Structure 1
Amino acid sequence: MSSVVNEVRDVAYLATATMDEHGVVTGWSEGAQQLLGYRPEEAVGRAVTDLLAGAAAEEAGRCLAGRSRWSGRVALRHRDGHRVDVELLAHRVVADGGATGWLLVSAVAREPWPLEADAPALGAFAQAPCILAVFDTDLRLVRANAEMEAAAALTEDRMRGLRLPQIWSHPDSEKTEQAMRRVVESGERQSLEAYLRVPGERREHAWSVSLAPLKDHTGHLYGVCFAAHDTTRLHQAQQRLLLLNEAGKRIGSTLDMAHVARELADVAVPRLADFAGVDLLTFLDRGEVPPSDRLSGPITMRRAAHRSVLPGTPEAVVDVGELDIHPESSPSAECLAEGRAALYQVTDDLMARWEAQDPARAARIREYGIHSEMVVPIRARGVTFGVAFYARHRSPVPFAQDDLLLAEEITARAAVSIDNARRYKRERMTAMTLQRNLLPRRLPDLTAMEVTSRYLPSEARAGVGGDWFDAIPLSGARAALAVGDAVGRGIQASAAGGRLRSAMRTLADIDLPPGELLTHLDDLVTRLSADEDSEIPGATGATCLYAIYDPVSRHCTLASAGHPPPAVVTPDGTADILDLPSGPPLGLGTLPFEAVETELSEGSLLALYTDGLVKSRDRAIDEGLDALCDALAQPAPSLDALGDTVLRTLLPARPDDDVALLLARARAFGPDRVATWEIPPEPAVVSRIRREVTAQLMDWGLEKLVFTTELVVSELVTNAIHYGQPPIRLRLIRDRTLICEVSDSSSTAPHLRRARALDEGGRGLFLVAQLAQRWGTRLEVRGKTIWAEQDLSDD
């Protein structure tokens, strides 16, 4: 194929100068001196208009006004007075101090420079569907095809002789020129990615740039081939995938709706929008069932989160946490009513409609120049939770349909997380309601002990646990204290803990000793665990601590089923952990439960708790027990204040586990409230005992109870003499009721029965039941005690 010589003008030198916004020359190159004859000290400080010839001086200001770049042919005046016509390219630049100015560039041609090529090759070069250009070894443009001219908005003649940064004033142009210099130095190909906006475009384009050395037939390098492909669509698709991937990682890290909303706003700004907000319907605040009716009319929502590229989020109409009313014709209300996302380009007609319905929001749109909006419903599993809205004002590119699809995708991911958080919140609220209903609403007013309690549900994702506690008045002015922890989390654990507490109360009502009570409770848990049809699974592994305190003897009997030991604080302020054998957890049925008896001085403090108080991920249980003793030893004005001190000292703001704490201060009954008789097993002694009981009642000022008490004492003492075994003891206790107790060594408990007309016996207990307010039998380690209570009120 024949070759032709295409003559291309090379460049002798570049003339460059800079000027400020006022048209004063601030920089002057050697090429500018060579072009116009002025030395730098003669040119710098002069007005540019002094260097223009003819009418060019008058048109210069109009040409540059409101532009970032200008090119054209201008007439200049040489130092000796003759006219010089040049092609001039002007770029607006920003100086280091932030001041703006202009860079003026002109290429001065020299003799033609030959470039050998085939004619078809030249045609292919000119018509190639990508940007192609040839630069010489000085990195000045020699040839440019039509795509290059279109991208630069300059003709080949005007670009010839210019370096790439002078054609496109952009940091990526500098980076590309550095790669071109490596091609000249090494003779090897280079490739890179560049991002810059072409003239006439508002969106920045992505370019894949390839650089190759140009060599003649002898292998001599005479230039660099520059090729650039517009990969904007591919780049945008990659960025969307990256944003979706980031949304998948960041959104839904917690089961907190407000936090999920913040994560959605953080993901969207600034990569998708300049401002993003999330408003949630108010039914989520209360954990209610979602509204079944279609949303219409003005809709009230709560601002859950928002974010902006501007500090302080000034575009927002309401602050986070505040209620926001969306009028019926607002984008948010229409989006919720129709159940689909919408894209708005802000126009004058649209602004007029919004100003009539929501002037405050319209004013913010005008103030910050918001030109494009997207509104997306937050909806998952058939339930609508609110709306997310996205806006642009700093980015000049309006939202497109691809952006709307992306916004719908990331909002959908947030909606699923919000629904998960809603379901968790409902389950947690249900479990907490169940837990509170199964725990005592208020502790009884015991005469044996002053008691107070604290219950703190867990803030962990796993939910509320099965911690429980109770205080129970027993016969003989005694008091029972119990605390337990059922395994598991959520509603099932709460229900299991409530079932254990109910069973324990029932066993406590029949006055079982602590060890025996835990044995019965262990049998119950074992049966529940084995019952496959039980709706509430068994609490295998549940722990429990049960204690009985007698204010007359000041003895406290305790037994533990795998539960942390109680703490005791003596009246002098010394706190210590009680050495108590820890039996197996409930439901294992392996070993018996050993009870321990200790004596409590009046004013001593007994602390029962669950392991969440002393054990955590950051602290061993031994350290927690030491911290508990230190906290209990601190002086406090009241038992309630001490409970608050213990929780504040030992627990973080968001505890990992449920915490139950029961504090009890022991009281003691002195001799003035208790009278005791040892009864010989002789029937004749009954009359004497009646007389002594009457005298005691007179001393106590209980004359009204003399008759009934004589009958009760006679029947109970007579039964013990006839059917029991010595030793026999009678005890009267003056409490809120008058308590009459008769104890013997026989373990045979009497039974109430209705005697027939001709029976000689069987009426004693029936008579006691009629005269007493309450009566009962409690089995003890040795023998039994039959007791009866009479009301001391004046009624």
Structure 2
Amino acid sequence: MGLEEFPEADGSGSGPDAGRAGHGGPVVIPGQAVRRAAGVPDEQEPELFRTTPNNPFTGVDGHTVLPGGDFDEELAMMRGLKPSRVPDFSNEIELYLDRSPSDRYPQDPLVLRFRGTYRVDLAGRETVFLPDGRADGADHRCEIRSGSTLAHMLGNGWPVFCDTGAARTALEELVGPQRPLPRAPRTVILAPLRGRDGIVGAAVLVRHPVRPPFAPDDLHIAAQLVTRTMQGRDGVRQRAHDSLRSAELQRRMLPASLPRLPGVRLAARYLAAEDPVRGGGDWYDAVPLAGGRVALIVGDVMGNSMPSAAAVMGQLRSIAQTLAGFDLPPRDILQRLDGQAHGLGELVATCTYAVYDPVAHRITIANAGHPPPLLLHSGGRAEVLRVPSGRPIGAPVVLVETDFEQVELDAPPGSTLVLYTDGLVESRLRDVWTGIEQLRERLATTVQLTGLDHPPPLEALCDDVLDMLGPGDRDDDIALLAARFDGIAPSDVAYWFLDPEETAPGRARRFARRALTRWGLEELSDSLELLVSEVVTNAVPYAERPVTLRLLRTDVLRCEVGDDSPQLPRQQRARDTDEGGRGLLVVDRIAARWGAVQRYGGKLVWFELDLR
């Protein structure tokens, strides 16, 4: 939130104050600095406007303390109370705010804290004092209890001159009895600050005693200034609040963690845009598939504000997860995702969908208008993959409806696939292809620094990729997904076809026992043979084509049994008189993990045993 958010606080230097003190805006300098009214004798400048040790808002040796810090809101409000159209309305503005405003007034007590002074001396030079609690008196607080004079004045909601006894008493309650203020008639205005959540503070507007006093109509000007300033402040706060809530919604819709799968390691990053209102809608996902494979997804909802983009992103991610469960080819996944997107209304999104098979060491990729993925080879070469770029998801089909295309590529062990959204490679300072080339060079350089024999860890690689972003490169949010392909060696895989006959369970037990003997895992033989027999027995009655049996040895022992029936098995509670129906109960009791998924042309039932 900056000065430009308020109508009267443009800070452009276009008003009568332009050119003073070197620029048109107020002077805000970290540390200490002397601010004297050049050419004005000390006797003409009362104590309020001097930098003297008697002024509680000055530092040692008569130097005004101007600490640095992030006070954009207070600075903008003080500039809003000093209108460019009436630049000489007041010489000083003091701001007192409640940092935890209540929606009701009065709160007992309402605590107002001094938040800053905007001062214009007789020479026209502007100085902003922003306290940080280090200077004497800079951390002044005022407790306003119901029934007090100050509470009555603020509750009226209208600016008043601090000439009468009650108004003067209220002013002294606010600023403290030691604060020197002019006593001449109509030189000080006390203005309540009312936001949408009630009274949030007060402003004190002071005119230099050597100048003509305020006119009665100036109370109306002060009321308008306060109203417009608080409207601007509430609007900015509401937009900031909405942006933070949308950003949090966006993050909550992303995966809480990535799955741990055999043969592949995963790492991801999400980085919001510098201006959250302009970003949103980027997502990544990793979905385990049958056969030890994994679907890698990165997408970006285009042309939406943060709240709507986050909501649409959540819908598309859920749809993509559901479609992934059907184990369709990537091009078919994008085709169905596109069809579902048209039913969600007018939206356009880009997406890359890839499926990695650690046994075949292959990856299949389809693209819907998304930036191309990069493959970092183990030897240090970074390659931009040539993947046909189809139309974006949800985009209208102008001439003919074209299918999405997919490519199948080698994924050698030790290589790394990098998927990303356009926020990483495109900004107002560079076009997308320049950014892609910079990303490719960055990946290659990272490998050279870590050594060709030691590929960089995935987490460090993701951090290093994000470090390529410079000032002005965060126009959009960024999603990054990196997958290190370790693969599964052929010696760790055993595969058989079983005719759907009564002898299939016995053959499956013998095959499994031989594989365990070859791998030196004989201690798992009893458990594996029992579970294999139960799962194959369940598959044989429904299969028309050969049943597949596969064993994978990684950090666990995984068994997969597939058949051509799409009907998934269900656990049943068998009665005492039933001869069957207990197979999955046995699997559930003995296996460390198990599941069943539909796949293209049938289903696959799997279970895992921990290696002791």
TM-score (norm. length: structure 1):
0.57
- Equivalent residue letter for 1:580: V
Q: Does 1:514 align with 2:333?
A: no
Give the 3-state SS of the residue equivalent to 1:498 in structure 2. Answer: helix
The equivalent position to 1:551 in structure 2, one of 358, 383, 405, is: 358
Give the 3-state SS of the residue equivalent to 1:362 in structure 2. Answer: coil
User: CA separation of 1:323/1:476 partners in 2, compared to 1, >3 Å: closer, same or farther?
Assistant: farther
Cα displacement (A) at 1:652: 3.2
The equivalent position to 2:410 in structure 1, one of 599, 603, 613, is: 599
User: CA separation of 1:380/1:680 partners in 2, compared to 1, >3 Å: closer, same or farther?
Assistant: closer
Residue 639 of structure 1 is matched in structure 2 by: 458
Residue 594 of structure 2 is matched in structure 1 by: 774
When structure 1 is superposed on structure 2, of 547-556 and 585-594 the one drifting more is 585-594
Residue 749 of structure 1 is matched in structure 2 by: 566
CA distance in 2, matches of 1:492, 1:430: 12
Native 8 Å contact 2:91 2:205 kept in 1: yes
The equivalent position to 1:261 in structure 2, one of 63, 77, 92, is: 77
Deviation string, structure 1 residues 119-178 (Cα, Å, up to 9, x no partner):
xxxxxxxxxxxxxxxxxxxxxxxxxxxxxxxxxxxxxxxxxxxxxxxxxxxxxxxxxxxx
CA distance in 2, matches of 1:357, 1:617: 48
Give the 3-state SS of the residue equivalent to 2:242 in structure 1. Answer: helix
Q: Does 1:648 align with 2:467?
A: yes
Compare CA radii of gyration and give the structure with the larger one. 1
Residue 585 of structure 1 is matched in structure 2 by: 392
Q: Does 1:696 align with 2:515?
A: yes
Residue 348 of structure 2 is matched in structure 1 by: 541
The equivalent position to 2:558 in structure 1, one of 715, 739, 746, is: 739
CA distance in 2, matches of 1:305, 1:641: 46
Residue 383 of structure 2 is matched in structure 1 by: 576
- Equivalent residue letter for 2:76: V
CA distance in 1, matches of 2:411, 2:39: 81
Unaligned runs of 5+ in 1: 1-96, 101-255, 285-289, 530-538
Residue 621 of structure 1 is matched in structure 2 by: 432
Q: Does 1:281 align with 2:281?
A: no
User: CA separation of 1:769/1:517 partners in 2, compared to 1, >3 Å: closer, same or farther?
Assistant: farther
Native 8 Å contact 1:457 1:464 kept in 2: yes
Q: Does 1:787 align with 2:598?
A: no
Native 8 Å contact 1:741 1:788 kept in 2: yes
User: CA separation of 1:724/1:98 partners in 2, compared to 1, >3 Å: closer, same or farther?
Assistant: closer
Residue 317 of structure 2 is matched in structure 1 by: 501
CA distance in 2, matches of 1:332, 1:443: 57
Cα displacement (A) at 1:631: 2.5
Deviation string, structure 1 residues 220-254 (Cα, Å, up to 9, x no partner):
xxxxxxxxxxxxxxxxxxxxxxxxxxxxxxxxxxx
Q: Does 1:439 align with 2:254?
A: yes
CA distance in 1, matches of 2:117, 2:265: 47
Native 8 Å contact 2:375 2:382 kept in 1: yes
Q: Does 1:303 align with 2:120?
A: no
Unaligned runs of 5+ in 2: 1-37, 42-71, 451-455
CA distance in 1, matches of 2:118, 2:458: 45
Q: Does 1:458 align with 2:273?
A: yes
CA distance in 2, matches of 1:662, 1:764: 39
The equivalent position to 1:490 in structure 2, one of 306, 314, 320, is: 306
Residue 725 of structure 1 is matched in structure 2 by: 545
Alignment of 1:131-150 (within 5 A): none
Native 8 Å contact 2:587 2:594 kept in 1: no
Give the 3-state SS of the residue equivalent to 2:550 in structure 1. Answer: strand
Deviation string, structure 1 residues 524-558 (Cα, Å, up to 9, x no partner):
222232xxxxxxxxx62122222222222221222
Identity of aligned residues (%): 35
The equivalent position to 1:566 in structure 2, one of 365, 373, 380, is: 373
Residue 19 of structure 1 is matched in structure 2 by: none
Deviation string, structure 1 residues 337-389 (Cα, Å, up to 9, x no partner):
33221222599x98898668754x734548x9999322223335574443333
Native 8 Å contact 1:512 1:778 kept in 2: no
CA distance in 2, matches of 1:332, 1:274: 23
Residue 225 of structure 2 is matched in structure 1 by: 410
Native 8 Å contact 2:413 2:485 kept in 1: yes
User: CA separation of 1:333/1:350 partners in 2, compared to 1, >3 Å: closer, same or farther?
Assistant: closer
Deviation string, structure 1 residues 602-648 (Cα, Å, up to 9, x no partner):
22222212222222233211112112222333326643333233223
Native 8 Å contact 2:421 2:480 kept in 1: yes
Alignment of 1:51-450 (within 5 A): 257=73, 260-261=76-77, 263-264=79-80, 267=83, 271-283=88-100, 291-295=103-107, 297-301=109-113, 303=115, 306-309=118-121, 312-313=127-128, 325-328=141-144, 335-345=153-163, 359=176, 362-363=178-179, 365=181, 372-379=187-194, 383-393=198-208, 395-450=210-265
TM-score (norm. length: structure 2):
0.72
Structure with greater strand share of residues:
1
User: CA separation of 1:402/1:576 partners in 2, compared to 1, >3 Å: closer, same or farther?
Assistant: farther
Give the 3-state SS of the residue equivalent to 1:451 in structure 2. Answer: strand
CA distance in 1, matches of 2:278, 2:290: 38
Native 8 Å contact 2:153 2:170 kept in 1: no
Native 8 Å contact 1:460 1:656 kept in 2: yes
User: CA separation of 1:273/1:577 partners in 2, compared to 1, >3 Å: closer, same or farther?
Assistant: same
Native 8 Å contact 1:431 1:464 kept in 2: no
Cα displacement (A) at 1:312: 4.9
- Equivalent residue letter for 2:420: Y
The equivalent position to 2:493 in structure 1, one of 669, 674, 677, is: 674
- Equivalent residue letter for 2:301: A
CA distance in 1, matches of 2:108, 2:531: 75
CA distance in 2, matches of 1:316, 1:394: 25
Deviation string, structure 1 residues 291-332 (Cα, Å, up to 9, x no partner):
234345342347277444366546979699x86522438997
CA distance in 2, matches of 1:99, 1:563: 66
CA distance in 2, matches of 1:441, 1:579: 31
Give the 3-state SS of the residue equivalent to 1:442 in structure 2. Answer: coil
Residue 146 of structure 1 is matched in structure 2 by: none
Native 8 Å contact 2:97 2:201 kept in 1: yes
CA distance in 2, matches of 1:767, 1:315: 71
Native 8 Å contact 1:555 1:598 kept in 2: yes
Give the 3-state SS of the residue equivalent to 2:566 in structure 1. Answer: coil
CA distance in 2, matches of 1:648, 1:423: 32
Give the 3-state SS of the residue equivalent to 1:668 in structure 2. Answer: coil
CA distance in 1, matches of 2:230, 2:93: 15
When structure 1 is superposed on structure 2, of 591-600 and 759-768 the one drifting more is 759-768
Cα displacement (A) at 1:698: 4.2
Structural RMSD (CA): 4.2
Cα displacement (A) at 1:501: 1.4
Residue 481 of structure 2 is matched in structure 1 by: 662
Residue 21 of structure 1 is matched in structure 2 by: none
Cα displacement (A) at 1:651: 4.9
Cα displacement (A) at 1:424: 0.9
User: CA separation of 1:596/1:332 partners in 2, compared to 1, >3 Å: closer, same or farther?
Assistant: farther
User: CA separation of 1:340/1:346 partners in 2, compared to 1, >3 Å: closer, same or farther?
Assistant: closer
User: CA separation of 1:471/1:303 partners in 2, compared to 1, >3 Å: closer, same or farther?
Assistant: farther
User: CA separation of 1:504/1:404 partners in 2, compared to 1, >3 Å: closer, same or farther?
Assistant: same
User: CA separation of 1:791/1:614 partners in 2, compared to 1, >3 Å: closer, same or farther?
Assistant: same
Residue 536 of structure 1 is matched in structure 2 by: none
CA distance in 2, matches of 1:706, 1:304: 77
Cα displacement (A) at 1:562: 2.3
Cα displacement (A) at 1:333: 5.7
